[in-house]
Amino acid sequence: MTAKSQKHWTGDPADLLRVGQGFRLADVDPDAKPGYTKGKKRGAEDLSAGADELDELQERLYAQSRVDDGSPAVLLVLQGMDTAGKGGIVRHVIGAVDPQGVSLAAFKKPTPEELAHDFLWRVEKHVPQPGFIGVFDRSHYEDVLIGRVRHLADDAEIERRYGAINAFEKGLVDRGIRIVKVMLHISSDEQKARLAERLDRPDKYWKYNPADVDERALWPQYMDAYQTVFDRTSTPDAPWFVVPADRKWYARLAVQALLLDALEDIDPQWPAADFDVAVEKARLAAS
Amino acid sequence: MTAKSQKHWTGDPADLLRVGQGFRLADVDPDAKPGYTKGKKRGAEDLSAGADELDELQERLYAQSRVDDGSPAVLLVLQGMDTAGKGGIVRHVIGAVDPQGVSLAAFKKPTPEELAHDFLWRVEKHVPQPGFIGVFDRSHYEDVLIGRVRHLADDAEIERRYGAINAFEKGLVDRGIRIVKVMLHISSDEQKARLAERLDRPDKYWKYNPADVDERALWPQYMDAYQTVFDRTSTPDAPWFVVPADRKWYARLAVQALLLDALEDIDPQWPAADFDVAVEKARLAAS
């Protein structure tokens, strides 16, 4: 972590937020800001500086893929309870880079056609192409989260899915896709406040769904289902990161830092010319 | 045109740039800035102010579509010679709105599978859903531009396509899709300068293709093909706009103004609550 946008971090966010052995979700404070010493105002400045870095790294990633078919991609998987801030990450972190290099997929309630296939069928179709930053707003993990909590499949099928997910993600990593899996972790109280705001503002009514309150009643079951997800699917190839998200500005900065970390690790390079520059200059001048 | 971002326009850009009866592409100066009296610096400020307006209008458009299946959409069709600035429009105009409300399709050389179907087959798949701003970076018009200039189909087939395009677009308009068709018009000299820059900068080599110089030799044929496109497909339902694009900043501002005009005309509204707000506040408080 040497990038200038990250000078206020006391440690590598990837190390501080990664789900490792013995991780307990219940021990994470959603209001914390691990590794970041400054406040909201400095956070906004750092987010802006980081956006410029992300923008250049994304362009390099894309450029490299234009001349190399086996070029890497990045896949950001965003999970979290309702109002956790997934949309804000897309808007404020991903929104800072060129839309031409981003592929975004929002996974809603599966359609009948999707349900007729294996749960990974609809997901595979949205895996980012080489050179792209793919973003999953919800993902195949819904099938072991709401799927488990609401018993949308039998126990044996739910069990099968953890292994299927690991095999699927291993396949992506082997194809050169760097996976960044993020759970935005908010508290139940913070969710309550955010839902209340949607009920207070007529320009936010459309974001409110009465079913959200029904899901709140199942909060402990959801936290258990997330813990199981972390226990079973936080692999060395595709680890989970739990990002405290009661402070939106911190969550955005942290996810940006995780993306910068992944991209700096890929270290994409401007491709060399696959033509003779002098010859082309002469042809152009004569045209 | 009452929006505050448009106060420096001397007239409605949509009226000034629309291709109407008797339009002659040869009469358009690519270096002009019709309707805009100020310079580049003020242009950047206006673009920034317009971005905020576009952002809110896009969110309203999207919100409205969440409760109304037959809700409108916007489709921006971008055409122009190589280096005309299509990518810059996507990045600097479209990039200012929430990526969650944008669907972007870049049409490259057709694949064998695409060529085995009618030329509109691949296009229909990318028509924006209700609530979205769709962007076509190149489009079905390539099939009567390079298709005509390079004789990629026989004359009868090229002739057939103009009518097929008009019928296709009429169908989109009838489905509530507002189509904004833009040709970014640069001069051959400006293209030469932009290609030369790509040959001067190693971080731009990847954008250069030797075939671009071959296409330059066919400039007059392309301008003729564009003139025919305007004559045959600038309909009242889906008119063309020719935007002088030698000044990138002007082209961006003008395309933004055309989008604002379309969205202000749609005038999307925040949806009313489809639940009882007081009841939901009570349920939430008790949760």
Q: Do B192 and A287 touch (CB under 8 A)?
A: yes
Q: Across-strand partners of B106?
A: B137
Tell me the pLDDT tens digit for each residue of B36-82.
999 999 999 999 999 999 999 999 999 999 888 889 999 999 999 99
- Please say if the pLDDT value at position B131 is more than 90: yes
Q: Per-residue pLDDT for B187 more than 70?
A: yes
- Asked whether residue A40 carries a pLDDT value surpassing 60, the answer given is yes
B87 vs A contacts (CB less than 8 Å)? 98, 100
Is B283 in Cβ contact with A213 (below 8 Å)?
A: yes
Q: Which amino acid is at B85?
A: G
Helix H, strand E, coil C: the string for chain B is CCCHHHCCECCCHHHHHECCCCCCHHHCCCCCCCCECCCHHHHHHHHHHHHHHHHHHHHHHHHHHHHCCCCCEEEEEEEECCCCCHHHHHHHCHHHCCHHHEEEEECCCCCHHHHCCCCCHHHHCCCCCCCCEEEEECCHHHHHCHHHHCCCCCHHHHHHHHHHHHHHHHHHHHCCEEEEEEEEECCHHHHHHHHHHHHHCCCCHHHCCCHHHHHHCCHHHHHHHHHHHHHHHCCCCCCEEEEECCCHHHHHHHHHHHHHHHHHHHCCCCCCCCCCHHHHHHHHHHC
Instruction: Provide the mean pLDDT of chain B.
Output: 95
Sequence ranges of the domains in chain A: 4-286
Percent of chain A surpassing pLDDT 90: 95
Report the candidate in A202, A87, A52, A129 with the shortest Cα–Cα distance to residue B269: A202
Mean pLDDT of B98-124: 96
Of B182, B196, B187, B201, give the one whose Cα is nearest residue B255.
B182
Contact (Cβ atoms closer than 8 angstroms) between residue A3 and residue A53: yes
Asked if residue B31 has pLDDT above 70, the reply is yes
Q: Does the pLDDT at position A2 exceed 80?
A: no
| Chain A residues touching B271 at Cβ < 8 A | 205-206
Q: How many CB atoms lie within 10 A of CB A21?
A: 6
Does A220 have pLDDT greater than 80? yes
Instruction: Tell me if B63 and A206 make a contact (CB, 8 A cut-off).
Output: yes
Give the separation between CA A29 and CA A240, rounded to whole angstroms: 17
A243: Cβ contacts below 8 Å, ≥ 6 apart:
A17, A182, A183, A184, A185, A250, A251, A254, A255, A258
Which CATH number does the domain A4-286 belong to among 3.40.50.880, 3.40.50.2300, 3.30.530.20, 3.40.50.300? 3.40.50.300
Structure-block tokens of residue B262: 């379309």
Under an 8 A CB cutoff, do B99 and A91 touch? yes
User: What pLDDT does residue B67 have?
Assistant: 85
Give the pLDDT confidence score for residue B6 in this predicted structure: 65
| A258, A180 contact by CB (below 8 A) | yes
Q: Is B99 on the interface with A (CB under 8 A)?
A: yes
Q: Do B196 and A283 touch (CB under 8 A)?
A: no
pLDDT, average across residues B100-126: 96
What pLDDT, on the 0 to 100 scale, is given for residue B3? 56
CA-based nearest distance B98→chain A, Å: 5
Cβ contact (<8 Å) for A196 and B90? no
Which of A122, A96, A265 lies closest to B91, judged by CA? A96
CB contact under 8 A, A91 and B102: no
Q: How many CB pairs under 8 A join A and B?
A: 111
Chain A residues in contact with B285 (beta carbon < 8 A):
196
Looking at residue B57, its pLDDT comes to: 97
CB pairs under 8 A, 24+ apart, for A276-280? A277/B199, A277/B205, A280/B199, A280/B208, A280/B210, A280/B213
Share of chain B above pLDDT 70, in %: 98
- Residue A167's pLDDT band (boundaries 50, 70, 90)? very high
Per-residue pLDDT tens for B236-280?
A: 999 999 999 999 999 999 999 999 999 999 999 999 999 999 999
Beta bridge partners of B283: none
Say if B225 is an interface residue toward chain A (CB within 8 Å): no
- The confidence score (pLDDT) of residue B5 equals 56
Q: What is the pLDDT of residue A70?
A: 86
B278 touches chain A (CB under 8 A): no
Q: Kindly state whether B55 is in contact with chain A, defined as any CB-CB distance less than 8 angstroms.
A: no
- Facing residues of B75 across strands? B134, B179
